[in-house]
Amino acid sequence: MKIGLLGLGTIGSGIYEHLAKRDDIEVVRILELLRHPGLEHLETSDYNEILNDPDIDTVIELIGGMEPAHTFTVQALKAGKNVVSANKLMLSHHMEEILTLAREMGVHYRYDASVGGSIPFLYNLMRYRGADRLLSLSGIVNGTTNLILDVMQREGRDFDDVLAEAQKLGYAEANPAADIDGIDAECKLAIASAVAFGQYVRPDDIATEGIRHIQAADIIYFKEMDRVCRLIVRSAPNADGSLSAVVEPTLVTADSTEAAVHMNMNTISVVGEYCGLHTFQGQGAGKDPTAFAVELGLRDILDGVSPRLNPIPEGYARVDNRQGRRAYYLRTTAHPGVPAEKLGETEHGAAYRLEPMSAAEMHALAAGLREKDPRLFFAGISE
Ligand code: HSE
Atom from ligand 1 closest to the CA of residue 147: 5
What's the pLDDT score for residue 130? Answer: 86
What's the pLDDT score for residue 239? Answer: 97
Which of 142, 187, 267, when mutated, tests ligand 1's pocket best, judged by the most ligand atoms within 8 Å of its CB?
A: 142
Distance 146 CA to ligand 1 centre (A): 10
Which of 173, 175, 231, 232, when mutated, tests ligand 1's pocket best, judged by the most ligand atoms within 8 Å of its CB?
A: 173
Residue whose CA is closest, atom 8 of ligand 1?
Answer: 285
**Which stretches does DSSP call E strand in the chain?**
2-6, 26-31, 43-44, 58-61, 82-85, 109-110, 134-140, 207-208, 227-237, 243-253, 265-272, 276-283, 326-332, 340-346, 349-357, 377-381
Asked if 152 contacts 159 with a C-beta cutoff of 8 angstroms, the reply is yes
What's the pLDDT score for residue 129? Answer: 83
188 is catalytic: yes
User: In which order are the strands placed within the sheet that holds 82-85?
Assistant: 43-44, 26-31, 2-6, 58-61, 82-85, 109-110
Intrachain domains 2-110 and 133-284+322-381 with the same fold:
no
Distance 143 CA to ligand 1 centre (A): 5
Distance 173 CA to ligand 1 centre (A): 6
Longest dimension (CA), the chain: 67
Atom from ligand 1 closest to the CA of residue 173: 1
Distance 260 CA to ligand 1 centre (A): 19
Q: What is the pTM of this model?
A: 0.98
What's the pLDDT score for residue 274? Answer: 98
Pocket lining for ligand 1, CB < 6 angstroms:
117, 142-144, 171-173, 179, 184, 284-285
Which parts of the chain sit beneath pLDDT 50?
none
Distance CA 363, CA 366 (A): 5
C-alpha to C-alpha distances, 334 to 80, 331, 368, 376, nearest whole angstrom: 56, 9, 10, 8
CA–chain centroid gap for 355, Å, is 30
Atom from ligand 1 closest to the CA of residue 285: 7
Distance CA 341, CA 348 (A): 17
Name the CA dihedral angle for 312, 313, 316, 322, rounded to a multiple of 10 degrees.
-150
**Residue 371, exposed/middle/buried by CB under 10 A (0-12, 13-18, 19+)?**
exposed
The residue type found at 207 is: A
C-alpha to C-alpha distances, 82 to 110, 143, 302, 355, nearest whole angstrom: 8, 28, 11, 51
C-alpha to C-alpha distances, 149 to 145, 265, 343, nearest whole angstrom: 6, 12, 21
Atom from ligand 1 closest to the CA of residue 145: 5
Distance 178 CA to ligand 1 centre (A): 9
Which of 149, 167, 171, when mutated, tests ligand 1's pocket best, judged by the most ligand atoms within 8 Å of its CB?
A: 171
What's the pLDDT score for residue 26? Answer: 98
Residue of 81, 88, 188, 287 marked active site:
188
Which of 179, 180, 230, when mutated, tests ligand 1's pocket best, judged by the most ligand atoms within 8 Å of its CB?
A: 179
Of 49, 112, 45, 52, nearest to 81 by C-alpha is: 52
What's the pLDDT score for residue 311? Answer: 87
What's the pLDDT score for residue 383? Answer: 86
Distance 340 CA to ligand 1 centre (A): 35
Atom from ligand 1 closest to the CA of residue 290: 7
What's the pLDDT score for residue 133? Answer: 96
Atom from ligand 1 closest to the CA of residue 115: 8
Per CATH, the homologous superfamily of domain 133-284+322-381 is: Dihydrodipicolinate Reductase; domain 2 (3.30.360.10)
Distance 279 CA to ligand 1 centre (A): 19
SS3 236: strand
Domain borders along the chain are 2-110, 133-284+322-381
Q: Which CATH architecture has domain 2-110?
A: 3-Layer(aba) Sandwich (3.40)
